[in-house]
């Protein structure tokens, strides 16, 4: 498998590159970034790691994506501290246009995973910009929400997070829908009281604030790396693993003309299908709310691309 990473000099791109190499999920890994000096420093380091693990690691440009089976887009415009990921949309949408054009030119059949924020409207943009518009191959990265949900639920129960299962759907942002109905401890349903649920729901905006207030600013590169690796492994192994994935909806969960996180079955062709879970009335209301929150950002994308 040949994998190309756009934005490979950044935190998310470089962490993902390292994890993909040590898990031997690529025969060839191409690192692309406009930040030339930082890209070279990461490439020099990771090329050595690749030699140890039998992975050819190259730095390059868009042209070097040719023949890629999978493209991971992590590139984003520099920003100041934000209170919500949606604030990044105007600056990052032009980058998505640029990357989508290059992917169409050099590796139009590749599966694309976008991790640039805000991922929901940017994954929708990647879909609209692609010549094929095959939503199965246009995926957004948002696994982190479910990983954190399980961690916070485990903390509230005083157990190890490895014993927990649970899923988050909807926006990769403040309106995300934590599906408490999916929480399992060692495979068995668990009850979380209303007060604890409220405390867990309050964690995502606080966590974003904590990251954004750091100097120097950083993002969740290592957390993203484990989720990206899980997605790539499911695709490479054709394992049919069910992973929370940002996808364009065609009626699932009542949504159309938008992208949001849903449980998806991943295999060699990308997302083979979306799984529609039985939701509680409270969770159904949450889905409606998250779609309302996402709607203006999707319409912004459509309007911008028509210019």
**Domain final position from 100, 118, 140:** 140
Q: Give me the pLDDT at residue 225, please.
A: 98
Low-confidence ranges of the chain (pLDDT < 70): none
**Domain final position from 140, 168, 186:** 140
Q: What angle do CA 152, 153, 154 make, to 5 degrees?
A: 90
Q: Note whether 152 and 218 are same-domain residues.
A: yes
- Residue-range definition of the domain harbouring residue 18: 2-140
pLDDT in tens, 193-210: 999 999 999 999 999 889
Q: Give me the pLDDT at residue 218, please.
A: 82
Q: Give the CATH number for residue 212.
A: 3.90.110.10
Q: Note whether 150 and 253 are same-domain residues.
A: yes
Q: Note whether 155 and 282 are same-domain residues.
A: yes
Q: Note whether 150 and 256 are same-domain residues.
A: yes
Q: Note whether 261 and 176 are same-domain residues.
A: yes
Q: Note whether 101 and 222 are same-domain residues.
A: no
Q: Give me the pLDDT at residue 80, please.
A: 72
Alpha carbon 99 to its chain's center? 16
Q: Note whether 82 and 164 are same-domain residues.
A: no
pLDDT in tens, 248-264: 999 999 999 999 999 99
Kindly report the number of other CB atoms within 10 A of residue 176's CB atom: 23
- Strand-pairing partners, residue 28, are 2, 56
Q: Note whether 118 and 211 are same-domain residues.
A: no
Q: Give me the pLDDT at residue 204, please.
A: 92
Residue 283 has, within 13 A of its CA and on its CB side, a CA count of 17
**pTM given for the model:** 0.96
Residue positions annotated with a catalytic role: 172
Look at the chain and report how many structural domains it folds into. Answer: 2
Q: Note whether 51 and 169 are same-domain residues.
A: no
Q: Whole-angstrom Cα distance, residue 54 to residue 48?
A: 10
């Amino acid at each position: 498998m040949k994998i190309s990473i756009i934005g490979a000099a950044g935190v998310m791109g470089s962490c993902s590159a390292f994890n993909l190499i040590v898990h031997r999920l690529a025969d060839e890994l191409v690192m692309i970034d406009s930040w030339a000096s930082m890209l070279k420093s990461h490439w020099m380091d990771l090329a050595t790691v690749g030699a140890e693990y039998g992975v050819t690691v190259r730095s390059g440009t868009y042209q070097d994506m040719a023949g890629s089976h999978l493209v991971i887009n992590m590139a984003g415009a520099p920003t100041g501290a934000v209170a919500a990921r949606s604030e990044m949309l105007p600056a990052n949408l032009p980058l998505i246009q640029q990357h989508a054009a290059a992917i169409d030119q050099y590796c139009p059949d590749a599966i694309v995973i976008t991790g640039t924020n805000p991922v929901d409207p940017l994954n929708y943009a990647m879909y609209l910009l692609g010549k094929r518009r095959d939503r199965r191959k246009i995926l957004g990265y948002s696994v982190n929400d479910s990983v954190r949900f399980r961690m916070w639920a485990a903390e509230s129960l005083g157990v190890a997070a490895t014993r927990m299962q649970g899923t988050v759907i909807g926006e990769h942002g403040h309106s995300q829908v934590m599906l408490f109905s999916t929480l399992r401890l060692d495979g068995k349903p668990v009850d979380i009281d209303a007060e604890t649920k409220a405390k867990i729901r309050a964690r995502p905006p606080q966590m974003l604030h904590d990251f954004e207030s750091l100097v120097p600013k950083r993002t969740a590169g290592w957390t993203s790396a484990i989720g990206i690796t899980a997605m790539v492994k499911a695709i490479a192994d054709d394992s049919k693993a069910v992973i929370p994935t940002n996808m364009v909806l065609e009626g699932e969960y009542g949504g159309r003309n938008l992208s949001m996180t849903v449980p998806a079955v991943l295999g060699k062709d990308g997302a083979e299908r979306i799984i529609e879970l039985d939701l509680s009335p409270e969770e159904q209301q949450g889905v409606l709310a998250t779609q309302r929150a996402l709607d203006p950002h999707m319409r912004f994308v459509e309007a911008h691309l028509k210019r």
